[in-house]
């Protein structure tokens, strides 16, 4: 079961390991990213950042969707981590249980503007976010679980 779907371009790091994992009671971190799934060095690096006792799965978007849609994996408590709005949209289209997405951190890139202190989006991201919102997917911004939710629709 997915406990949280999070967009964070840093993927696995301290905020995830030491605040989100215990707050959600997850036992599995899943990074869904086509590039990282093929990069042995990145996989090793992310493995070093995961908390002890937590399983780390790194899969392509397609493999992650298949895994999450397979009922035999329902006993896992998963924190799904994506590194872009585009990937979140792709996962939400393939995994019906994704009805809410936490936007935790997106660094500024070319053409992007800040919509919160840790979230920079460009025009393409905004189009995708509006599409997700139109499909009934909640988009909220929180860096850590104790932050108040900022609803994306009021910021774009």
Distance CA 46, CA 11 (A): 8
Lowest mean pLDDT among 29-38, 83-92, 107-116: 107-116
Range of the domain at 155: 84-156
Domain edge (last residue) among 82, 98, 129 = 82
- Mean pLDDT for the stretch of residues 103-127: 92
Q: Residue 13 falls within a domain, yes or no?
A: yes
Domain of 142, CATH number, reads 3.40.35.10
pLDDT of residue 142 exceeding 90, the answer is: yes
C-alpha dist (Å) from residue 75 to 1, 3, 69, 85, 86 = 7, 11, 12, 27, 28
Catalytic residue chosen out of the listed positions 9, 10, 13, 127: 13
Percent of the chain, pLDDT > 90?
Answer: 88
- 1 classed as catalytic: no
Label residue 14 by pLDDT band (50, 70, 90).
Answer: confident
pLDDT of residue 108: 85
The reply to whether 21 and 44 lie within a common domain is: yes
pLDDT of residue 89 exceeding 90, the answer is: yes
The reply to whether 129 and 143 lie within a common domain is: yes
């Amino acid at each position: 079961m997915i406990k949280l779907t999070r967009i964070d371009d840093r993927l696995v790091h301290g905020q995830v390991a030491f605040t989100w994992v215990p707050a959600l009671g997850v036992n599995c971190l899943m990074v869904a990213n086509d590039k990282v799934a093929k990069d042995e060095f990145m996989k090793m690096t992310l493995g070093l950042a995961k908390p002890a006792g937590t399983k780390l799965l790194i899969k392509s978007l397609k493999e992650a969707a298949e895994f999450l849609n397979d009922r035999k994996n329902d006993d896992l408590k998963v924190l799904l981590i994506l590194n872009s709005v585009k990937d979140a949209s792709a996962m939400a289209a393939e995994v019906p249980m994704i009805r809410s997405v936490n936007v935790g951190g997106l660094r500024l890139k070319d053409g992007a503007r800040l919509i919160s202190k840790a979230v920079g989006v460009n025009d393409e991201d905004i189009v995708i976010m509006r599409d997700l919102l139109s499909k009934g997917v909640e988009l909220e911004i929180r860096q850590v679980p104790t932050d108040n939710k900022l609803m994306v629709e009021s910021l774009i």
